């Protein structure tokens, strides 16, 4: 007679297995600051994607990665838009209409960039404060310094003894102890 159920049901006393938390990116926050200043902010957006990828590996939530990637892709879109305006000016288009087009497009790109940055940074903050990672972060510091502030905390983050999600086994639930009213004899009035 054979049974076709997983072994964790056959042997419920076996300990559950957990996946180890991967090590975070270890670049010092000072280097993140210097490289972002030297690249005029381009490295900062790339580093947000790196931190988002680590969060995606550490937890099962992908939101920080995708929002950071969307924020990073605003830069190439802005470059392509600028090249389109330069090509249109070279081809002899009206300079006033090109100016209006470029001014409107750059304002929209700035607005989209600010919104994507805020969503990506505060989404990342929320996931860094969540269960497997548990880093307490300040909202004001997150707003002003974002990825540099995250890297300040991640550089010295210790993953020893931390686990991500449970892979196998039962989720142990502790039930509250039920108080039993044990009396020493028969109830009153019973002989």
**What pLDDT, in 10s, does the model give residues 15-58?**
666 778 889 999 999 999 999 999 999 999 999 999 999 999 99
| Mean pLDDT across 5-17 | 60
Q: How far apart are the first and last CA of the chain?
A: 54
Return the SS3 of 60: coil
As given in the structure block, the two tokens for residue 157 are 């983050």
| Mean pLDDT across 146-155 | 96
Contact status, residue 59 vs residue 130, Cβ threshold 8 Å:
yes
Return the SS3 of 16: coil
- Higher pLDDT residue, 19 or 64? 64
Element (H, E) at 169: none
Answer yes or no: pTM beyond 0.85: no
Q: How many CA atoms lie within 13 A of 73 on its CB side?
A: 6
The alpha carbon of residue 55 and the mean position of all alpha carbons in its chain are separated, in whole angstroms, by: 5
| Mean pLDDT across 141-150 | 96
Q: How many CA atoms lie within 13 A of 97 on its CB side?
A: 5
| Mean pLDDT across 3-26 | 70
As given in the structure block, the two tokens for residue 87 are 């090509």
| Mean pLDDT across 76-84 | 83
């Amino acid at each position: 007679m054979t049974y076709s159920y997983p072994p964790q049901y056959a042997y419920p006393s076996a300990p559950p297995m957990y996946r180890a938390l991967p090590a975070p990116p270890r670049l010092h926050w000072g280097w993140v600051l210097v490289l972002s200043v030297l690249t005029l902010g381009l490295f900062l957006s790339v580093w947000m994607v790196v931190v988002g990828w680590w969060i995606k590996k550490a937890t099962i939530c992908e939101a920080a990665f995708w929002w950071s990637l969307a924020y990073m892709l605003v830069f190439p879109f802005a470059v392509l838009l600028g090249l389109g305006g330069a090509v249109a000016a070279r081809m002899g288009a009206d300079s006033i209409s090109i100016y209006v087009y470029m001014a409107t497009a750059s304002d929209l790109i700035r607005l989209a960039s600010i919104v994507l940055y805020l969503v990506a940074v505060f989404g990342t903050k929320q996931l860094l404060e969540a269960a497997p990672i548990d880093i307490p972060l300040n909202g004001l510091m997150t707003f002003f310094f974002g990825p540099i502030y995250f890297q300040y905390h991640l550089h010295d983050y210790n993953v020893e003894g931390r686990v991500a999600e449970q892979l196998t086994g039962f989720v142990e639930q502790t039930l509250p102890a039920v108080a039993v009213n044990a009396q020493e004899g028969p109830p009153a009035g019973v002989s």
